[in-house]
Amino acid sequence: MPASILARRLSQIKPSPTMAITALAAELKAAGRDVIGLAAGEPDFDTPENVANAGIAAIKRGETKYTAADGTPALKKAVVEKFKRENGLTYAVNQITIGAGGKHVIYNAPAATLNEGDEVIIPAPYWVSYPDMVLLMGGKPVFVAGTQNQGFKIRPEDLEAAITPKTKWIIFNSPSNPTGAAYNQAELKALTDVLVRHPHVWILADDIYEHLTYDGFKFVTVAQVEPKLYDRTLTMNGVSKAYSMTGWRIGYAGGPTDLIKAMGMIQSQSTSNPSSISQAASVEALNGPQDFLPKWRDAFQQRRDMVVKMLNEASGITCATPEGAFYVYPSCAGLIGKTTPKGKVLANDSDVATYFLESEGVAVVQGEAFGLSPNFRISYATSTEVLKEACTRIIRACSVLK
């Protein structure tokens, strides 16, 4: 047998499970099945028209050439102003990096900093890509559990206990994918107090869901809550979720110049610049009118409330009401051990997700993918009618278990 062409480090990682389930649901749909996909992590709204038009105008102006590898001066300036205006954070233009989506920016951080065996603290449940990015760079993910009875938030004492001399980063995501949990000022301060005591630990603040919070929740970010952490925090954000621009692929971050420069260097030797057209559109997204956001928030909040209410009517499911993002992360502990009409015993949350997909054509993502079980994730970034139908089917699927 010929030796594998693949690098040894690839054996450590797996394809994004959320994408795999979205693809499976699409496959079933293409084969004629009536499938409702609740697995994708993107808003269902169109990119605002003024933003889309800014992209078209950039093409017409001939802005279709390479830009600086880590972003145009115009977009960096818009990001500087955004951080100042919305987060009270002061960054210079050379403290900003622009990548092809938030994921790309996050990827560049461990790529630029991790040595073999460095530890990265990841609160669980977590966004699926964090552990794999860390593993790919030779790092070691260290998970700290934020359980359902803690509102899916980690406790300061558990964070403190997880820090070792080898800890290089904590990746902190609020509002969270997959739970929607968001830390308020006091909750975040309790964690930053711990981090202040450990000056060797850097913080990657993934704020991508910043604008999607409900019931008047006030978003705060790490370096804003604790200025003492500013010099070792990478504040990352992007236009994908807030402006419904997932396909445009623009993310950004602000941080210390050495780190930002190193991340830009990696980008200059890999992807080069993110799309010039998308960068022009993102300038308009950040600088232009923000009046569509409250409307989107209202729509998401109504959907969230309906989904939480209906899921709690399903026998064996309990669902908390999250503060933000567009996900709920119900527990399906009450379904484990039950038997389906076809005689299969549901042993874990992967079985539950497969059962919902096969019996009722509802695609959700099993909690196993996010590191906290038994749960599943529903993305409610789809129409109320579709969500209602999906929840009705889940209630029915639960009711026929024995």
Give me the 25-54 binding string for ligand PLP, x by CB under 6 A, dash otherwise.
----------------x-------------
**How many degrees, rounded to 5, is the angle at CA 129 between CA 127 and CA 135?**
125
Which residues inside 184-213 make contact with ligand PLP, applying CB under 6 A? 206, 208
235 binds ligand PLP (CB under 6 A): no
Instruction: Please identify the residue of the shown chain whose CB is closest to the bound ligand PLP.
Output: 101
131 binds ligand PLP (CB under 6 A): no
127 binds ligand PLP (CB under 6 A): yes
274 binds ligand PLP (CB under 6 A): no
Work out which of 246, 301, 354, 392 binds ligand PLP, going by CB under 6 A.
246
Q: How far is the CB of 181 from ligand PLP (least distance, A)?
A: 12
Of 100-108, 219-227, 371-379, 381-389, the window that binds ligand PLP (rule: CB under 6 A) is 100-108
Of 95-103, 115-123, 308-316, 348-356, the window that binds ligand PLP (rule: CB under 6 A) is 95-103
238 binds ligand PLP (CB under 6 A): yes
173 binds ligand PLP (CB under 6 A): yes
Of 47-55, 96-104, 216-224, 340-348, the window that binds ligand PLP (rule: CB under 6 A) is 96-104
125 binds ligand PLP (CB under 6 A): no
304 binds ligand PLP (CB under 6 A): no
Closer Cβ to ligand PLP, 101 or 141, answer by number: 101
108 binds ligand PLP (CB under 6 A): no
User: Total residues at the site for ligand PLP (CB under 6 A)?
Assistant: 13
240 binds ligand PLP (CB under 6 A): yes
User: How would you write the chain as a 3-class SS string?
Assistant: CCCCCCCHHHHHCCCCHHHHHHHHHHHHHHCCCCCEECCCCCCCCCCCHHHHHHHHHHHHCCCCCCCCCCCCHHHHHHHHHHHHHHHCCCCCHHHEEEECCHHHHHHHHHHHHCCCCCEEEEEECCCCHHHHHHHHCCCEEEEEECCHHHCCCCCHHHHHHHCCCCEEEEEEECCCCCCCCCCCHHHHHHHHHHHHCCCCCEEEEECCCCCCECCCCCCCCHHHHCHHHHHHEEEEEECCCCCCCCCCCCEEEECCHHHHHHHHHHHHCCCCCCCHHHHHHHHHHHHCCCCHHHHHHHHHHHHHHHHHHHHHHCCCCECCCCCECCEECCECHHHCCCECCCCCECCCHHHHHHHHHHHHCEECEEHHHHCCCCEEEEECCCCHHHHHHHHHHHHHHHHCCC
**How many degrees, rounded to 5, is the angle at CA 226 between CA 225 and CA 230?**
115
Work out which of 102, 146, 371, 374 binds ligand PLP, going by CB under 6 A.
102
Q: How far is the CB of 204 from ligand PLP (least distance, A)?
A: 10
Q: How far is the CB of 52 from ligand PLP (least distance, A)?
A: 17
Closer Cβ to ligand PLP, 267 or 340, answer by number: 267
Q: Rounded to an integer, what distance in angstroms lies between the CA atom of residue 402 and that of residue 90? A: 58
Closer Cβ to ligand PLP, 82 or 103, answer by number: 103
Chain residues in the site for ligand PLP (CB under 6 A): 41, 101-103, 127, 173, 177, 206, 208, 238, 240, 246, 251
